[in-house]
Amino acid sequence: MTTTSEKDDIGKIIEKYVSALLENREIKENKNPLGYRVISENCPHGIYIYDRKTGLWKLITNNELIRDGYYVIYFNNSQCIACKLFDFSWYIFIETVGKNYENIIFIIVRCEWFTTSCNSKLAKEYFKKFNITSSPSLILIKAKNREIIVKKHIRGVKSPDELVEEIEKFMQT
């Protein structure tokens, strides 16, 4: 059963999420984004990396994204209804727990519809590289010497608790 305190916390996170969506709209109109609080329909297609210091998702252009360490990559299609539903879990997870995983790099790869409709060559390459054919999809990676040594594909909408469970289990590999 959810306590009043937990409901208040969830309410604050949802308010923050909606506020970030509105903020992203303003950032797009100003055309000078330093990063985004939430990757929404107003954000360009591409690959975004989470910056813990600022709490922003920053659009990147570097093709050598995977170095050593742990990665959680969220493949998002802006036309995907399930992705929009998963976004609530994803951002609640990032804001409450994910930001504290200092040894994990969080990434969002965003297109309109897989490789069929994508304005980012790099994002399109990542959809192909990881053979993403359903969304939402998460790819968990452990890399060493710039080689992927362990990979797990998670499909479908997951709750923040399920994300924590999956990631904790993966980190033990």
pLDDT at 20: 61
Distance, CA of 68 to CA of 46 (rounded, Å) = 22
Q: Are 113 and 76 in contact (CB under 8 A)?
A: no
Q: Tell me: the pLDDT tens digits for 52-62?
A: 999 999 999 87
The pTM score is 0.83
Domain extent for 50: 4-171
How many domains does the chain fold into?
Answer: 1
Q: Tell me: the pLDDT tens digits for 8-53?
A: 666 666 666 656 655 554 444 444 468 999 998 889 999 999 999 9
Q: Tell me: the pLDDT tens digits for 87-143?
A: 999 999 999 999 999 999 999 999 999 999 999 999 999 999 999 999 999 999 999
Report the CATH number that the domain containing residue 156 is assigned in CATH.
Answer: 3.40.30.10
Strand partners, 107: 49, 73
Look over the chain and give the mean of its residue pLDDT values, rounded to a whole number. Answer: 86
Q: Which residues contact 169 (CB under 8 A, 6 or more apart)?
A: none
Q: Are 67 and 143 in contact (CB under 8 A)?
A: yes
